[in-house]
Structure 1
Amino acid sequence: MSSWAARNPTRAIIRPRTPPPRLTDAQKASRKIKRDQRLERTKHLHDAVAEYLDAQKTKIEALSRAHHVTPKHINDIIGSQTHYRTSRKSQLINALVHAKAKEMNAGARYSLAELRQMVASDPETKALTREEKERYIAALEEHREKKVISVRANNLAAARDVVATTDRIVKELDDLRVRTGVYGTLFVVRGHINDSIQSAMHGTDNSEDFWEDVYEHPMADFLRQYEQWACTQNQSKSFVSSHSLCTYASSVAVTGKKDIVMNYHNYETSVIETYGVRLVGWPNGVKFTSPSNIGTVGDIRKLRDALKARTCYWTVLSPAELKAHASELDTRRSAGEVVRKPRKKRSDAGVPRKRKDGSSAGRVNKENIRPSKRAKKNSTQLQEGPKSAEFVESSDEEEEGHE
């Protein structure tokens, strides 16, 4: 259970890409020819674009002289565009390419250009009905959504995802700082002690000085404390465990109390007999124990599905049912059955344990009893005497008065 995917067995997993098969000599030669041809086409394109830009520059200079404006003003009009774009809807061509990739990439792997060519030359894609088009688009949207909310298969893939995403966020924060002048601070830490994610922090402009100026600690100290806190939260599983669901249902929805903890070992006495509630609909074949001790993903899923579907739920016992349950427990106790499991005893129970100061924990040693702070203070004052003589008469004056 050392990876994020292993700790989230109910979530879909983004499978890592399988490496393509090794190329033969003929394939390598063919790819080299294609690469050389592509480079040649790219060179011709760049030369054509450079020629066009030279002609455009000449035309812009002529327009600036004719209209009495600067060339920069004309370039701003030509190249005006916004940085804010809304997300586009899924296009049919992309949905068809996605479906073709799932169909063709089972054995060999094809490039995006080859898949697009297959879709364009496929006669079936030109005679699709409206329902079929919507079905292809829905499949693509579902695939994209799964890629966003699914978990990485191993720690290495998760760490790479964190690095790539953090770099994008840092660039967006820095660009936003330049565009708007805002300040921002980013902390990224791992959520489990076994994760191999490298913690990172970033502050726009001089944001790092804030932590030292206000809290008198460097920003790295807060990053380290944040990581320690995150690794001790026991929140590594994104799905709600059945243990927490059971506890929440019993403490809030049924009894109205928030301080109840589920007790699987002494369920009949600590839960049913004490609070008068019972858990109904526990899945068949699943051992009645803490979910952390179930051990198999299939059984955990059964329990989670039963709790979500409310086929497994808590119910309040009537006074008659509670009385019948108590009578049954008494009968079982009379028969010699151990109804409540006793707590385990310490291996050194009954044996006096030594403290660091050498005294025994089972006996009170008056010599080793430390005085309280007040007693220490009083004894010190008695030994030193009062610090002010304003209210204390000297012994010589007392003796003269007596005389």
Structure 2
Amino acid sequence: MVSQAFYTSKKNSRRVRMQHPRTRPKVTMSKEARAMLTAGRRAKSCNFKTALNEAWDQFNDMTKTIAAAHHKSVRYVQNELYAGHGTLRSRRNKPNMWNAFCWKKNQGNDNHNQGRDTLAQLVREHKDEYLALSKEEQDTILKEYVDWTKTKTTGTRISTKSKIVDITQTLKAVENELNSLRCRTGTETILYTTRGSTDLPLRAIVFSTEGVQNFMRSVMNIDNQHLVSKMEGFAIQGMKGAAKNHQERVSEVRAAIRDVINGGLRTITGNPRANMQWTHYFRNIVQRYQVMIVGWPDNIPFGNLSKVSSSLSELERLFDMWDKHVTCWKTVTDEEFAKMYEERNEELESGQIEDIRRRTRSDKGKKRKRPAATNDKDKNTARKKYKNNSPTLSSSAV
């Protein structure tokens, strides 16, 4: 066996030996000792869970107190606390020397209102000065910068867009994990997600793995859109919101959209009897009144709402666009109508669109006979008798 010695210096030399890992002696515990050790571990785990539950109880009580003191809902306070906690954890509070130096140099009036060019100018003109700073000067500038940042009022802003991004990214990660779990173990999953508050403009999300994609419709005879709609109503309003089914809510929104469309058409044309006609829209609306609809959303086909869309979220979005005048009626000038008419004729000739007309009778051009009478009653009622109202002369007058 060869031993190795290492020396750090001649003055303080020390022999260092390679240490072999020590093996702990195996201890055989008695039954009573094992029971005591197990009981101690269980007691520690129970105490830990009890402490966590007490902390959550205190957190819930504090949430209710804040909501009552500031006239907010408990759900709103919970959302702010949870989202704000994640934002604060990702915030960086340690000051940076370069930022402090740039702030110091930017205090002069000459460097204000220069936008993005300010940083490039600072690097060109003051880079050597920054590198030549001593430790005392750096500490002084850093202390001034920290004192200045304390005077600024900062707060955490949680926007609706950040919430939607958080939901989308989280659900995407969950979907990836569920697909991976299916590949590894063969498990199938159906996931429904909906909003629980009207403050969040989120459409309901339905996810299912490949093996159970058509399970709800084919086996359970349940429409996913109907299910998530009732789920959303229950989450927002409880049983009152879930009582009204999807078809009724969709019908109400469609009726509201039709009223807005017809009301706008009557206002812009001045005709109190004007009504929207989807089938003959160009001939009976555009050509007749020289008006057209602008701002129609791309994700909803332009046509009768009873046929083109049954999604409640899409219909609510369309109604909101009409209510905010994003989608509205517009008067068409003669030049614009001539151009539209020419483009429509080109589309008709190329077969891109089809001119819908009423189908003619199959016996057009043939003389139609009356059905023959089968009994006396039919004979009496076969021909309608008209009363002669012309004056007649009585026999006495003659």
Normalising by structure 2, report the TM-score: 0.35
Q: TM-score, normalised by structure 1?
A: 0.35
Larger of the two Rg values belongs to structure = 2
Greater RCO between the two (CA within 8 Å, min separation 6)? 1
